[in-house]
Amino acid sequence: SQTIHQWPATLVQPVGSPLSLECTVEGTSNPNLYWYRQAAGRGLQLLFYSVGIGQISSEVPQNLSASRPQDRQFILSSKKLLLSDSGFYLCAWARTEGPQHFGDGTRLSIL
Amino acid sequence: KNQVEQSPQSLIILEGKNCTLQCNYTVSPFSNLRWYKQDTGRGPVSLTIMTFSENTKSNGRYTATLDADTKQSSLHITASQLSDSASYICVVRAQTGFQKLVFGTGTRLLVSP
């Protein structure tokens, strides 16, 4: 069966510090991978998606970047965090028209 | 603009009672609609999918309906259990666009003993 792992579960970082959140998928190959941010009282916002190694798509201007160094690994990064980067970050994998399978998320607090 | 609106924002019901959650959308062109359940501190999990031609679909005690003409969907929960306490998110897939999945803000359901 397929599983998706995200870590860390919670993270507290000072403003201006770097960020690296990692997501890995097991039990499937060549999945579509997604990074979402969920703010309180708002729907999930798609940050990045990837259909293959090294292929990253994003249309939302932001302080974040994503990379896919391996087929089942998706990384969310920032060089300098802002207060507005606080939120609940969710990684997901999916087949083209299938359901999104979400990880358990990372709650990021910026101080 | 593609949008998904859910109501009520939050709901408290007694264990064993039924409830219905609403979802209205303006997503076009429409592809499908899914209901997800999100437990606190966890990622959402898909409950059911509705395509254009489907009116009703059940998954255990969960029954989803879709009216593609009025662009409305509902999720009915029968004989609620304490474990049903969660946020329920309506997600509509568009056929085109960067963010093909448009997420509602969810309904937070609390089932009280």
pLDDT in tens, B26-68: 988 898 999 999 999 899 999 999 988 889 999 999 999 999 9
* Residue ranges for chain A with pLDDT beneath 50: none
Contact A110, A86 (CB under 8 A): yes
Interface test with A, best of B98, B100, B108 (most A CBs within 10 A): B98
Residue B95's pLDDT is what? 83
How confident is residue B98, by pLDDT bands cut at 50, 70 and 90? low
Chain-centre distance for alpha carbon B103: 10
A105 and B44: CB-CB below 8 Å? no
Residue B21 has pLDDT above 80, yes or no: yes
- B80 backbone dihedrals φ, ψ, rounded to 5°: -55, 150
Which helix (H) or strand (E) segment is B35 a member of?
strand B30-38
B101 and A46: CB-CB below 8 Å? yes
**Rounded distance, CA B75 to CA B90, Å?**
9
The two beta strands, B107-112 and B10-14, are parallel
Q: For chain B, what percent of residues have pLDDT higher than 90?
A: 79
Residue B75's pLDDT is what? 98
A43 and B4: CB-CB below 8 Å? yes
Residue A100's pLDDT is what? 87
Q: Which residues of A touch B99 (CB under 8 A)?
A: 45-46, 59
- Residue A25 burial (CB count, 10 A): 22
Contact A72, A25 (CB under 8 A): yes
Residue B52's pLDDT is what? 85
Largest Cα separation within chain B, whole Å, is 44
B106 Cβ under 8 Å from any chain A Cβ: yes
**Rounded distance, CA B82 to CA B80, Å?**
7
Contact A76, A64 (CB under 8 A): yes
Q: For residue A38, what are the CA distances in angstroms to A34, A63, A80, A86, B89?
A: 13, 16, 20, 10, 12
Q: How far is B3 from chain A (nearest CA, A)?
A: 10
Q: How far is A90 from chain B (nearest CA, A)?
A: 7
CA dihedral A53, A54, A58, A61 (to 10 degrees): 150
B43 and A104: CB-CB below 8 Å? yes
Name the residue among B4, B31, B43 with its Cβ closest to that of A102. Answer: B43
Residue A61's pLDDT is what? 67
B46 and A99: CB-CB below 8 Å? yes
Name residue B45's beta-bridge partners.
B37
Contact B58, B47 (CB under 8 A): no
Q: How far is B69 from chain A (nearest CA, A)?
A: 22
Q: For residue B66, what are the CA distances in angstroms to A39, A83, B23, B49?
A: 27, 40, 9, 10
